[in-house]
Structures are given as C-alpha cells and as structure tokens.
Amino acid sequence: MSLLEVRGVTMKFGELAANRDVSFDVEAGTIAGLIGPNGAGKTTLFNCVAGYYRPSAGSIRFDGREIAGLPPHAVARLGLARTFQIVRPLKEMSCLENVMVGAFLRTASPKEAREVAERCLASCFLADFAGRIAGGLTIGNKKRLEIARALATGPKLLLLDEAMAGLTSTEVREMVEVVRSLRSGGLTVLMVEHIMEAIIPIADRIVVLHHGEKIAAGVPAAVVRDPAVVAAYLGGKYAKKLGEAGAGGRP
Amino acid sequence: MTKRARSDLAWLAFAAALAFLPAIGLVGPGFGSHVLVQILLTAAMAQAWNLVGGYAGQVSYGHSVFFGIGAYGAALAVCELESTPWPGALAGAALAAVVAVLIGLPTFKLKGHYFAIATFALVEVANRLFMMWDAVGGALGLDYPILKDSLANFTWSKSKVGYYYGALAIALLVFGLVRRLERARFGFYLRAVREGQDTAESLGVDSSRVKLAAMALSAALSALCGSFFAQYNYRVDPGMVMSLDMSMRFVLVAILGGIGSFAGPLLGAAVLVPLQEYSRAYLAKLGPGVDLVIFGLVIVLMMEFQPKGILGILESARAALRRGRGER
C-alpha cells in the first residue's frame, strides 16, 4: 500500500475540468514531483489532496483512509501538511509563533510547542529569525517559514506547492538542501513545481500533468525524454523538430 | 525573570492597588466613584468583546444582545421570580453563549463580512422582540423593588464600594481569563484564525470551532457584565441594553484602546468613559447628545492618525523617547 493513492480524480469548476481522471501513487519515504506547464491543473489537484477542494469524482486515500472531501484541518490532523504557493505567513505574529501554531496540533503545552517550533525553525535555517514578525521576512525566508510551520504539525506527508518559485538561485539551493534533509529524516514529500531544474535532481518519481490530465509518470530521467512531455513544455512543432534532428529531448 | 513574568507582576500590582482604593477613602457615594465603576465595567465589556473581535478578528456588532440577555436574566430573577440575581446572571450567561453559537454556526462558515452583518441584524431583532414581549416588561422594562443591602441581593444603596468591588471582580475575571488564554493553545489559534484562516486550517486548526468557542465565551462574559449593569442601574429596558449604541460601546472602546491587545480595552475605557461621563454631566446644557458628538470626534481622529489606538500612541511615544536617549 502506498502512503498516498490518488485514483481517477476529476475536479470540475462548472463545465471546466481542471483535472480529469488523474491517478498516481506516492510511496512512503520518497520525494515525488508533480510537474506540468502553467495551467496544467497542478495546484487544483494539490488542493484536492489537501482538503481545500472536494473532487467532483475519484478517490484519494492517505495512509489507508479515504480523505477526499475532508476539511483541511482534518486532513492536517491525519498527518498531511501543506505549504502555499503564494506564501501566507500569519503576518502580525513572530516566526516562532507562526511555527508554534503548527506545533500545537500535537501538543497542548506551550512549552513543548515552543521546543518543537525552535527545532523546525532551525531545520529550515530560520533560527536567527525566531523573534521577527513574519510579515517582514524576505520571500526566501517566508517560503522556508511555510515549510517550518508545516513540519511542526508532525506530518507523514509534506505537500510543497511551488516552494522554489520566485526564489533567487542561492535561495533555490538552500531550499533544495532543506527538502533533501527532510527526506533523509524519513519524511515523504510531494512537490508541485513548474521549474524543471529545481525538481529533476531531487525527485524519485515524477508525475506530469497537461491540460488537467496525466500524460507521463516515472523516474525523472525517463520522464524528461518522454516525447509527450517535451511537446507539452515546448510545443508539438518544436518537439517534432527536435526528434527529426535526433537531438533528443535533453532538458 | 522573563519580560512576560515582569509584566504579569506589574498587572497584579495594579489590580492590588485598585482593590485598595476604597480602603483609603477614594471610593464613596460620589460621581467620581460612579465613573470608576463605569470604567471597570466598560473595560471588562471591551475585553470580552476583544476576545472575538480583536484576538480572533471577527467583528461583532451584536454584543449588546448578550449584554441584554445577562441584564434581563438578573432583572427577571429579582423582579419576577423574587430570588437573588445570581441564578438569573448564570442562566443569562449560559443562554448568551447558546445564542452566540446559533448566530455563529451559519455565519462563521462564510468568509467576509457575513458574520458582522448577521450580528447587526441580531440587535434589531432582539430589540424589537423585547419591546413587544410583555412577560419581560415590554418597552417599559423592569423596575427593581427596594431590597435590603447585601451581597446576596447585589444591592448597596449608601455607597458605591460594593459595586466597585463587583465591577473590579468582573474585570479581574475577564482580564485574567484573557491573560491565560493569550499564551495557551487557544490564544494562538485565535490569532492564527485572524491572521489567515486558510493557513490556520492547513495547520490543523478547526477555524469554525475556534471562532464558535471564542464567541460563546465572549458572549457569556458580556452577559455577566450585563447582569452587573442591571443591578447597578436597578432597572432594565430594551433601549438601555439591547441597542446599537450599547453594541458600539463594546466595539469602540476596544478599537480606541488598541484592538487585539491585552491593555487596549482598559486604556480605551479609562479615556472614553470619563470623557463621556463628564461631557454628559457638564455639557448637557448645550443640548442632548453632545457627549456622543465628542465620542465620535475622538474615534474619527484616532482612526485617521493612529489606527492602533491609544496603545499605538503609547508605543510610538516610547520609541521616540528611546531614540531621544540615543538607544537603538
């Protein structure tokens, strides 16, 4: 049994299907990537998994339990934590307090919550910012604050929604380091990204969405050579030219 | 000692000083004592409101209804059931909590201003209802009979000392409770819901439940303030308790003092209540409602220049002082 099993998920907004019959698995202890061009339906699928949308059809099983349609707080309680693509710090609270809110999911004691929060801040390179008001952080720090806060809830599966988007190359390197350290700590991660360079080096498996449908899945090296993926990212014409020139679809 | 513990001690010392005021003869039958009682009661009301309006960020214009339920609870117990006001006050607090949950259940699920609008409507509905309800005295309200001075009757006719301690006890209850909740999980959850409901949910916070709990607690505390108010005035009618005017008292005092802060409600009450009471006493000859004009003017100026309230003014003054002394 996989930690997360997505089966035949369709999400419609009126007549528009943002996701159509998407299925994939995330194995425990791995980093899975969910990629696709802009508008592919990645964030919608992500919101279905995290409980922000109730899918129109299909099933989402987490740790053996059906979670499709559960409210976000219940999903979080089961051990599935998310970050937001557009960072959402609790602006008027300090970084430590932000992370403590997450930690309070597993303990009612402020002292314990504080200890957990301090550890999570440190693992995201934010120890020096504990007392700072979250609204005043740089975007790179805010992105890592999102992760620290989600970590504090003690998740089994961490959902990262474009954690790399908008970061400088230094910040991307820091973020990659954070995500790698999470996996070595035994955490399972599902990352939504549209920057290929950010995800190829760290993901164990990748699922590619295009126009709301899954068009490819597998290990990163194979997925990036898949003609359907190349066509989705670069356009059919260019992919065909590449194929004719025999240059392959090197990313 | 941590900063927090030092501040706790300062507050305790302040409360002890307040408790000693009657012993040194500063509280008696006079108008000054009346103003003191009003300050304490209003601070308690604003702090009760602050729990849901400030910390949880859900602005309620309906608190006069909870206040009124408490007032009528005490008054009905005394005037109709001929008992002491205590069981009525407790029943009022419980009923207010139930009404708060009934209002919150449908409206907290919606985002935006639906909750505020619903609470606005609640005041109008409750006011009309009590106006027409003969069993609770209708528009005339309920007048207390003459009773013996005692704590059981919560009645003191010769001096304000009894009421002063009553108001102090309510203020201590409300402020003490909020102080405790501030650093507990519930306090963190309240602020998290205010700062971002989606974020809070993603961290396992059941935002509707947190808001409902805050609302119920806030309503029950407001009702206790209302019971005190009925005892203090020795009468109650719909206009004096269940009105938008009374609701605005909860809201404005908290906003003026500093919304979502612990000291804000007390600061707001300490400034606004004397301003209102003395302008009402001395400027009444200029025509009715002069006190309200001043009230409104202060609020407008405050919103324009320091939206964080009196607390904000104090903070910037302290920062300026520090700069002047050459520290950071």
Query: Per-residue confidence at A11, pLDDT binned at 50, 70, 90?
Result: very high
Task: Report the chain B residue with the minimal C-alpha distance to residue A101.
Answer: B188
Evaluate if residue A125 carries a pLDDT over 70: yes
**Lowest-confidence region among A9-13, A232-236, B231-235:** A232-236
Which of A97, A101, A113 minimises the CB distance to B200? Answer: A101
Evaluate if residue B292 carries a pLDDT over 80: no
Query: Per-residue confidence at A194, pLDDT binned at 50, 70, 90?
Result: confident
- Going by C-alpha positions, the residue among A152, A160, A161 that lies closest to residue A99 is A152
Residue B248 lies in a domain: no
Query: Per-residue confidence at A250, pLDDT binned at 50, 70, 90?
Result: very low
Which tokens in the block code for residue A29? 């202890």
Calpha distance B43→B286 (Å, rounded): 28
| Mutation site for A-interface testing, chosen from B111, B202, B205, B308 by largest number of A Cβ within 10 Å | B202
Evaluate if residue A247 carries a pLDDT over 70: no
Residue B252 lies in a domain: no
Q: What is the mean pLDDT of residues B101-125?
A: 86
* Interface size between A and B, measured as CB pairs under 8 A: 79
Calpha distance A169→B214 (Å, rounded): 44
Evaluate if residue B40 carries a pLDDT over 60: yes
From residue B141, alpha-carbon distances to B152, B199, B234 in Å are 23, 47, 11
pTM for this structure? 0.90
Residue B42 lies in a domain: yes
Render pLDDT for B217-249 as a digit per residue (tens, 0 to 9).
Answer: 999 999 999 999 999 999 999 999 999 889 988
Touching check for B323 and chain A: CB below 8 Å? no
Evaluate if residue B309 carries a pLDDT over 70: yes
Check B201 against A72: CB less than 8 A apart: yes
Q: Residues B265, B257: contact at Cβ < 8 Å?
A: yes
**Domain layout of chain A by residue ranges:** 1-79+156-171+186-251, 83-154
Q: Which of A90-99, A238-247, B76-85 reaches the highest mean pLDDT?
A: A90-99
ipTM of this predicted structure? 0.88
Render pLDDT for A59-69 as a digit per residue (tens, 0 to 9).
Answer: 999 999 999 98
| E strand segments, B30-165 | 142-143
Q: How distant is the Cα of A120 from the closest Cα of chain B, in angstroms?
A: 14
In this structure, whether the domain defined by A1-79+156-171+186-251 belongs to CATH 2.40.128.260 is answered with no
Chain A: residues touching B (Cβ < 8 Å): 50-52, 71-74, 76-77, 81-84, 88-93, 97, 100-102, 104-105, 108, 110, 113, 149-150, 152-153
Residue B107 lies in a domain: yes
Q: How distant is the Cα of B191 from the closest Cα of chain A, in angstroms?
A: 8
Touching check for B143 and chain A: CB below 8 Å? no
Check A71 against B201: CB less than 8 A apart: yes
Q: Residues B271, B310: contact at Cβ < 8 Å?
A: yes
Q: What is the mean pLDDT of residues B46-74?
A: 95
Q: Residues B256, B165: contact at Cβ < 8 Å?
A: no
Which residues of chain A neighbour B207 with C-beta distances below 8 Å? 73
- The pLDDT > 70 percentage for chain B reads 98
Check B203 against A150: CB less than 8 A apart: yes
State residue A248's pLDDT score.
Answer: 46
Evaluate if residue B279 carries a pLDDT over 90: no
Q: Residues B123, B64: contact at Cβ < 8 Å?
A: yes
Q: What is the mean pLDDT of residues B29-54?
A: 93
Residue B279 lies in a domain: no
Touching check for B56 and chain A: CB below 8 Å? no
Total number of domains constituting chain B: 1
Which range of residues forms the domain containing residue B234? 27-241
Task: Kindly report the average pLDDT of chain A as a whole number.
Answer: 89
Evaluate if residue B288 carries a pLDDT over 80: no
Interface of B with A in 162-201 (CB under 8 A): 183-185, 188-189, 191-192, 195-196, 198-201
Evaluate if residue B110 carries a pLDDT over 80: no
Residue B191 lies in a domain: yes
Check B189 against A104: CB less than 8 A apart: yes
Q: What is the mean pLDDT of residues B40-65?
A: 95
Query: Per-residue confidence at A233, pLDDT binned at 50, 70, 90?
Result: confident
**Lowest-confidence region among A123-132, B120-129, B142-151:** B142-151
State residue A249's pLDDT score.
Answer: 43
Evaluate if residue B66 carries a pLDDT over 60: yes
Residue B99 lies in a domain: yes
How far from each other are the two terminal CA atoms of chain B, in whole angstroms?
23
Task: Report the chain A residue with the minimal C-alpha distance to residue B210.
Answer: A73
